[in-house]
Amino acid sequence: MAELVMAAATPHNPLLWRAMREPVPDDLVQVEVNFRRIRDAITEAGVDTLIVLGTDHVRQFFSDNSPAFIVGKAASYHGTYENEVRTFGMEYAELTGNPDLATQITGREVLPETIDFSVSHEWRLDHSFVLPLQYVRPELDLPIVPIHANSILPPLPTAARFAALGQHLRAAVESWDSDARVGLLTSGHMATDVGGPRTFNGSPDPEFDAEAVEWMRDGDLDGAIAGCRYDRIMAAGNVTYQYVNIVAALAAMQGRPADLAEATTSRFASSPFFLWRAAS
């Protein structure tokens, strides 16, 4: 059977793409170091396919048709958009899909009991999928299953549903008749505001950041779920709900304390870096 051999969470702040160039500015050195740690962990774990859990930023999924959880079943994906290349200087990416693993996650004829997934066979991936891969697997050679969890167009799934997603991903991998070594890569934000009153002005809520690191460092899944209520998260910044992706990773790793848990400070809002290696 296949194995879930690691999980990690990184930032996907697209402003990093232009800012974190050689020579890397002093305030971003630790961000680069942490990306490299996760890159190395993927290599060391011998990952040969990745589930990439991200947040489509209203690029493909708009309010006319907004799924809560959608799984990509395509054989290939184009990455990033004209406006993201224009605005952030990002680079287009070509990615290979993993339809077999996607089907294992969604079910073939009938959806799993845990999550009523939507599926997509035609999906252009935005920066929240592409940018983490460009940093932690710049070869872009691993087949991926992208999953968008809606944390941007309310009504949103609760943190408990993200946890159920994470638990389901582990169960789906472990019941997959394959010798694949699967990694889970997710991304999101610590307390962050984009386009609201606290936009681009450092962390809007350092207290949330500290708690949100502790939940992962201590392996406190119940605390994370309780702490990620909509009103609490929105008080920490209008895009902070993307932190909840990381709750799914904690659940996928059975609520174990993370091997790396850090909200890295820089000129930007703090950057999430979390890593779970396989239990030995």
The footprint of another protein (CB under 8 A) covers 57-59, 62-64, 81-83, 86-87, 152-155, 193-197, 199-201, 234, 238-239
- Minimum CB separation of residue 223 from another protein in Å reads 25
Nearer to another protein, 130 or 145 (CB): 130
Nearer to another protein, 38 or 152 (CB): 152
Contact at 8 Å (CB) between 6 and 184? Answer: yes
- Minimum Å gap between C-beta 218 and another protein is 30
Among residues 82 and 177, whose Cβ is nearest to another protein? 82
Q: How far is the CB of 18 from another protein (least distance, A)?
A: 10
Rounded to a whole number, what is the distance in angstroms from the first to the last CA of the chain? 17
Cβ closer to another protein: 46 or 154?
Answer: 154
Q: Which is nearer to another protein, 92 or 200 (CB)?
A: 200
Residue 105 makes CB contacts below 8 A (sequence gap 6+) with: 51, 71, 117, 145, 147, 168, 169, 172
Of 228, 230, 189, 234, residue with least CA distance to 211: 228
State which amino acid sits at residue 248.
Answer: A
CB of 195 to another protein, least distance (A): 3
Query: Can the peptide bond before residue 155 be classed as cis, meaning omega within 30 degrees of 0?
Result: yes
Between CA 7 and CA 210 the distance in angstroms is: 21
Strand 144-149 with 69-72, pairing: antiparallel
Q: Give min distance, CB of 152 to another protein, in A.
A: 7
